[in-house]
Amino acid sequence: MSAPSSSTPPKIFDRERIAAHLSRRNAADDFVATLVVEDLADRLMPITRRFERALVMGPDAAALPSGGRSAEGEFAFERRATILPGQDADLVDPENLELPRADYDLIVSLLDLQVVNDVPGYLSRIHQHLAPDGLFIAAVFGGASLSELREAWLQADAATSGGAFARVAPFIDVRDGGGLLQRAGFALPVADLENHIVRYSDPLALMREIKKLGASNPLAEQPARMTMPGVLAAALEAYGRIASDPDGRVRATMQIVWLSGWAPHESQQKPLKPGSAQVSLKTVLGSKA
């Protein structure tokens, strides 16, 4: 048997495990998906473009919007699920993305990018399915999401076993977003961040909600043994030290990174060539220059 190619991305996420988690959740209670869909609607509204071939992808078909509205009017989404399909949303594989068209004028990815093993490859394949001047928008959990929980588990594992296990998935840093889009060939890349603080009665309530939302540990590599009661108790205690408020409740950080980029087109704004400015900086700033 030949050795695997060095260019093959490592398997970080177990999508079968994610599917099992999502299948047990109640989509109607998913406040995170609701928040992201509402934010997407606000972001589409000011765009002066009529979208006639729009597609939206995400883990669960039940959480995907059926349509949107830009400044030019309403439009329908073709829906594709990347983990749990629905009656009108076929399953697609983001690791080997194949879509029915190569001329979409809008592709949206909602909360799936953070569990894709080959992010650069995924973005490149999306780019290949866009028409020239087509728009790509993605919402993804940001790097500081659940940072309190990650630190609490690290402290608990260090205190009880002298080691550390990955119990919270890594997330994309907003500072890397624009670079990932550029690497995939997108023009005019933009990455911005929205921070949300969610409060819970105690750390265990947060852990229960993560499980209820189907967002439990998605990593392919899991601790070899079940979490012992002593480790859990240490994690709960550490979380209280890290993120408790005076009223006894605890904080949890949720970051949503929004990425957007356009398939290149000759009509798009181009940066000026060096030395082509008509007014010097010295003229604008006067004696301060």
Are the C-beta atoms of 279 and 289 separated by less than 8 Å?
Answer: no
Residues 6+ apart with CB under 8 A from 93: 82
- Residue with the two structure tokens 């859990």: 232
pLDDT at 203: 93
**b/e per residue 230-269 (b: at least 16 CB within 10 A):** ebbebbbebbeebbeeeeeebebbbbbbbbbbbbbeeeee
Residue given tokens 């209670």 in the structure block: 29
CB proximity list for 227: less than 8 A, separation 6 or greater: none
Give the Cβ contact number of residue 205 at 10 Å. Answer: 14
13 and 114 Cβ atoms separated by less than 8 Å? no
What are the DSSP E strand ranges found in the chain?
54-60, 67-70, 73-84, 89-91, 104-110, 130-141, 187-200, 250-262
Please name the residues in contact with 286: beta carbons below 8 A apart, sequence gap of 6 or more. none
pLDDT at 217 (0 to 100): 66
Say if residues 105 and 137 touch (Cβ distance below 8 Å).
Answer: no
Task: Using alpha carbons, select from 139, 167, 173 the residue that is nearest to residue 63.
Answer: 139
Rg (CA), the chain: 22
What was the pLDDT predicted at 15? 78
Per-residue pLDDT of the chain (289 residues; tens, 9 = 90+): 334 444 667 777 777 878 887 777 776 678 888 999 999 999 999 999 999 999 999 988 888 999 999 999 999 999 999 988 887 888 999 989 999 999 999 999 999 888 888 899 999 999 999 999 999 999 999 888 899 998 998 999 888 876 666 666 667 888 888 899 999 999 999 999 999 999 999 999 998 888 877 667 666 565 656 667 888 999 999 999 999 999 999 999 999 999 999 999 888 776 555 554 454 444 434 444 4
| C-alpha distance from residue 277 to each of 12, 271, 272, 283, 289 (Å) | 47, 11, 8, 12, 16
Strands 104-110 vs 130-141: parallel, antiparallel or unpaired: parallel
Assess contact for 160 and 285: CB atoms under 8 A.
no
Query: Could you tell me the sign of the dihedral formed by the alpha carbons of 171, 167, 158, 207, in that order?
Result: positive
Spatial separation of the C-alpha atoms in residues 224 and 227, rounded to whole Å? 9
d(CA 189, CA 186): 6
Using alpha carbons only, give the angle 117, 22, 259 rounded to the nearest 5 degrees.
45
